[in-house]
Amino acid sequence: MHKLFSKRRQDFYKQNSKYLRYVFNDHFVILLFLMMGFLMVQYAQFVRTIPENWFWGKIIVVLISLVTLIFGNLATFIEEADKQFLLPKEEEVKQHIRSSVQKSMTFPVILFFVTALILYPISAKSFMAGLWLPIIQVIILASIKYVLLIQKSNSYVKNNLLNWDKAIDDEKKRQTNILKIYSQFVDVPGIKPVVKRRKVFDELLNVIKKEHRNTYLYLFARHFLRTGDYFGLYMRLGILSIILLFAVSSPIISLVGVLFINFILLFQLIPIKKSYDYQVLNRIYPISKEEKSTSLKQLLMVSMTLLALVQTIVALFTFEKIIFVPLILIGTLAVLLFYTSRKVD
C-alpha cells in the first residue's frame, strides 16, 4: 500500500511539473519579476508610513495569517476504483490516510514561513516585536493546520468504517482545484467545467435566441455566461483590475496594468470559438464560417467594452489627471479590434 500511494503521489507531481514548464514560460517569468519588483517597491514605501504599535497592522497580520490556513488540503490520492479493489485492505487505507497528514503539512508550513517573512515589517512595528514573532507565528499556524488535517482525516471514518465516497470526492476536488490553475495557461485534459444556469441572464439569452441569424452568438453567449471557466475568469480579472485602480497611485502604471489585464482576458476568451466544435451536428448548420467569427467578435466587443466602461468610471475617482481616464476605453478597443481581427478570422 505504501508503494502504491507513493507512486500515485510521484505521478501527480510529475504531471504538475509538466504543466509548470508551460506556466512559467520566458514571457511570464519576465512579467513576474517585473511585478514582484514593483510590488516590493510599493510595499517598502508603505512600511515606512506605518506608525509603531499600529492597531490596524495587528488586524492585517492576524487576518492574512488566518487566510493562509485555507490553503493545503489533505492529500490522500485515493481514486474511484479503490472502493472496489482496495476494500479488503480498508484498514491499511485508513492507516495511509492518517499518515497522509504529516505529508500534507509540507506545503502549508512553507506557505506560513513565507507569509510570516513578508508580514514581518508590519508585525514588527505593530506588535513591537523582534525576530521571535514570525517563528511563533509559524508554530501557531502549523499547530492549527495540523489539528484541522487530523480532524479531516478522522471525518472519513465513521463507526470504524471508511467513508470511501467522501474520501474519493474530496481528493477529486483537491486535484481538480490544482489543475484548474494550470488550465488558465494550458489545456488540461480531464477537467469538467462547472455549468450554472444564472437565471439573471435568461432574458438576455432569449433576446439573442429569437433572431435565427444569431445562432452562434446565442451559443457563445450561453457558453460564456453559464460556464464557470470563462465567466469566473471574466469576473476575477475584472475585479483584479478594479483593485489595481484603487491600489496603485500612479495613473500610468494603473493604465498599463489595466490594459495588460484586459489583453490577458481577451486572450483567454478567444478559445470560446472552439467550444462547440466537438458537436458534429453543428457542421450541418446553414451558417458560414464568417458568421461564426462575426458572432464571436460581437460577444468579445460587448463583454470587453462593458468591462472597459466600468474601469473608466472607477478611474474617474482614482486618477488625478482626467486625461488618462479615456485611454482605458480607447486602449481596450484598440487591442480588441487589432487582436481579434488577427486571431478570430
**Digit-coded pLDDT (tens) for 179-238:** 877 876 777 776 666 667 777 777 777 777 776 567 788 888 888 888 767 888 888 888
Cell numbers 464568417 correspond to 290
Q: Does residue 166 fall inside a structural domain?
A: yes
Same domain, 203 and 179: no
Same domain, 94 and 220: no
**SS3 for 188?**
coil
Q: Does residue 131 fall inside a structural domain?
A: yes
CB burial string 185-202: b at 16+ within 10 A, e below: eeebeeeeeeeeeeeeee
Same domain, 140 and 112: yes
CA distances from 333 to 53, 206, 266, 300 (A): 48, 27, 11, 10
Same domain, 133 and 263: no
The answer on pLDDT for 150 being more than 90 is yes
Tell me which of 163 and 293 has the higher pLDDT. 163
- Position 311: which residue type? Q
Q: What is the pLDDT of residue 269?
A: 86
What is the β-pairing status of strands 161-162 and 157-158? antiparallel
Q: Are 140 and 108 in contact (CB under 8 A)?
A: no
Question: What is the end-to-end Cα distance of the chain in Å, rounded?
Answer: 53
Q: Which helix (H) or strand (E) holds 301?
A: helix 289-318
Q: What is the pLDDT of residue 63?
A: 93
Same domain, 13 and 155: yes
Q: Does residue 191 fall inside a structural domain?
A: no
Q: Does residue 163 fall inside a structural domain?
A: yes
Domain with 48 in it? 2-183
Q: How far apart are CA 191 and CA 194, in angstroms?
A: 9
Q: How far apart are CA 214 and CA 227, in angstroms?
A: 19
* Residue range 326-341: mean pLDDT, rounded: 87
159, 183, 207 — which closes off a domain? 183
Q: What is the dihedral of CA 244, 247, 251, 253, to 10 degrees?
A: -60
The answer on pLDDT for 268 being more than 70 is yes
**SS3 for 49?**
coil
Q: Does residue 189 fall inside a structural domain?
A: no
Q: How far apart are CA 324 and CA 169, in angstroms?
A: 49
Q: How far apart are CA 274 and CA 293, in angstroms?
A: 11
Chain length of the chain:
345
C-alpha cell at 143: 499547530
Instruction: Identify which of 328, 298, 293, 303 has the alpha carbon closest to the alpha carbon of residue 230.
Output: 303
Q: Are 185 and 267 in contact (CB under 8 A)?
A: no
Q: Does residue 300 fall inside a structural domain?
A: yes
DSSP-assigned letter for residue 74: -
- What are the beta bridge partners of residue 157? 162
Same domain, 224 and 108: no
- Phi-psi region at 172: left, alpha or beta (left = phi > 0; alpha = psi -120 to 50): alpha
Same domain, 179 and 216: no
User: Which sign does the torsion angle of CA 77, 78, 79, 85 carry?
Assistant: positive
Same domain, 168 and 30: yes
Same domain, 170 and 299: no
Q: How far apart are CA 57 and CA 38, in angstroms?
A: 22
Same domain, 167 and 40: yes
142, 159, 183 — which closes off a domain? 183
Q: Where are the beta strands (DSSP E) in the chain?
A: 157-158, 161-162
**SS3 for 105?**
coil
Mean pLDDT of the chain: 86
Q: Does residue 193 fall inside a structural domain?
A: no
Q: How far apart are CA 74 and CA 148, in angstroms?
A: 9
- Domain count within the chain: 2
Q: What is the pLDDT of residue 191?
A: 66
Instruction: Identify which of 125, 160, 145 has the alpha carbon closest to the alpha carbon of residue 49.
Output: 125
* Whether the model pTM is above 0.85: no
157, 183, 209 — which closes off a domain? 183
Q: Does residue 213 fall inside a structural domain?
A: yes
Distance of CA 214 to the CA centre of its chain: 32
Same domain, 32 and 169: yes
**pLDDT, tens digit (0-9, with 9 covering 90-100), for 55-73:** 888 898 999 999 999 999 9
Same domain, 204 and 135: no
